[in-house]
């Protein structure tokens, strides 16, 4: 639908999708494969940022695991799980705009270099920079 509204990806029509590609209905596989295909066609003009739903724990709870196992098998699900670990956790657009799926950091002074040092090829931990760039839900408490 977004491509119908904004045109297909190209060198003159770049895209950056900011995570949570799966667990949003019964077509997660098709959405992911479409996004991967566009990334293969336009690697310098099509970007995918990992969200908190590109994690094993949420895939199990919110349905992507069941979808893949129903349509394919556990081996295919494991391939998706591994692939999600290689998605970038942040992008910096035009050296001015930081794009992360999550929200604010729990401490001041986090720099791009700190994000770049994160070992992203793993499942997200329960705390730290990787956790915060993937998942920072609003809270009723005062603070950030």
Catalytic residues: 53
- Which residue in 18, 3, 79, 92 sits closest to 53, CA to CA? 18
Q: In the chain, count H helices and then E strands.
A: 7, 4
Encoding tokens for residue 89?
A: 């956790």
The first and second tokens of residue 119, run together, are 């070992």
Angstrom distances, CA of residue 139 to CA of 10, 30, 33, 104, 143: 39, 33, 34, 12, 9
Report how far residue 35's alpha carbon sits from residue 130's, in angstroms, rounded to the nearest whole number: 23
């Amino acid at each position: 639908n977004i491509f119908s509204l904004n045109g297909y990806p190209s060198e003159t029509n770049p895209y950056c999708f900011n995570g949570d590609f799966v667990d949003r209905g019964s077509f997660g596989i098709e959405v992911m494969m479409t996004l991967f295909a566009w990334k293969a066609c336009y690697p310098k003009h099509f970007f995918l940022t990992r969200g908190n739903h590109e994690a094993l724990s949420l895939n199990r709870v919110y349905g992507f695991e069941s979808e893949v196992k129903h349509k394919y098998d556990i081996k295919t699900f494991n391939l998706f799980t591994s692939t999600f670990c290689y998605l970038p956790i942040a992008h910096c657009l035009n050296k001015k705009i930081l794009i992360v799926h999550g929200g604010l950091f729990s401490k001041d002074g986090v720099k791009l270099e700190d994000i770049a040092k994160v070992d992203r090829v793993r499942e997200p931990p329960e705390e730290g920079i990787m956790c915060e760039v993937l998942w920072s839900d609003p809270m009723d408490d005062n603070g950030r």
